[in-house]
Amino acid sequence: MRNFLVYVVAILLANHSAIALQPQDTCTNDAMIVMDASGSMSQLFKGGNSKIEAARLAAHEVVPISSQHRRLGLLTLGPGRKEQCSNVDMVVPVQLNASKSILSVIDNIKTDGGTPLSTALEKAAEALDYEHKKATIVVLTDGDDTCGRDTCKTAKDLKARSSDLTIHVIGLEGGFDELKNASCIADETGGVFVDTTTYQGLKDALNIMLVCPSIS
């Protein structure tokens, strides 16, 4: 069934179709957005915007809808004053009606640093109390962990300890080598991986993963 969903998602995104999903009361699990704000996210995305700007625009379209129906939080990785592999910040703890707080932070992100993705996944899962509650993490990234850790193993370990953890991953115009472990994160946790090269594809993927009903 999951392979069928991945296939449907790929076809829809390839055709840039608008994916209309109506929120439903059955989708109540907390969700954490993990936003890659590393230096490479300043690179240009198709359409003329940087990757971080495309993510920012997509968030403005999707987060206000999603936050009406589930508790959301935001964790960023990359920029900061610490050694670059320690720069993981829980900037908006999971909360109701989180849209304003999340968008305010995203609007002011200054990209910098590396990609401590494994550490970010662990902190996001812990913030969701993943060992006791159903939880969803949605990752936006353009590459794999640059801090020497195996994100695939991290995801597998988190899933083994979790009550019911699903991690979806949106890859932003990354090559196979940069995103092969990112796709494994989704595979190991029953999530969906989408590698998109367009803003429309990014927005549609974020909509599927955050707006109820989710496909986790």
The predicted pLDDT at position 82 comes to 67
Query: Which amino acid belongs to residue 50?
Result: S
Cα distances (Å, whole numbers) of residue 83 to 51, 112, 166, 208: 23, 12, 29, 34
This prediction's pTM:
0.86
The predicted pLDDT at position 8 comes to 39
| Two tokens, residue 52 | 């971080």
For residue 3, is it within any domain? no
For residue 16, is it within any domain? no
The predicted pLDDT at position 158 comes to 97
For residue 49, is it within any domain? yes
The DSSP call for residue 114 is -
For residue 11, is it within any domain? no
Range of the domain at 159: 31-132+139-174+194-210
Euclidean distance between CA atoms 12 and 9, whole angstroms: 5
Cβ–Cβ < 8 Å for 94, 55: no
The predicted pLDDT at position 154 comes to 96
Q: Give residue 31's region: left, alpha or beta (phi > 0; psi -120 to 50).
A: beta
| Two tokens, residue 152 | 């695939």
For residue 46, is it within any domain? yes
For residue 179, is it within any domain? no
CATH code where residue 108 lies: 3.40.50.410
For residue 26, is it within any domain? no
Euclidean distance between CA atoms 171 and 190, whole angstroms: 16
Q: How many domains does the chain have?
A: 1
For residue 12, is it within any domain? no
What order do you get walking across the sheet with 72-77 strand by strand? 88-95, 72-77, 30-36, 134-141, 164-172, 193-196
Euclidean distance between CA atoms 97 and 152, whole angstroms: 32
Euclidean distance between CA atoms 50 and 30, whole angstroms: 29
Bridging pattern class, strands 88-95 and 30-36 = unpaired
Euclidean distance between CA atoms 119 and 39, whole angstroms: 17
Sequential pLDDT tens for the chain (216 residues): 444 344 334 434 443 333 333 333 346 689 999 999 999 999 988 778 899 999 999 999 999 999 988 999 999 999 877 677 889 999 999 999 999 999 999 999 999 999 999 999 999 999 999 999 999 999 999 988 999 999 999 999 999 999 999 999 999 976 556 677 788 999 999 999 999 988 999 999 999 999 865 433
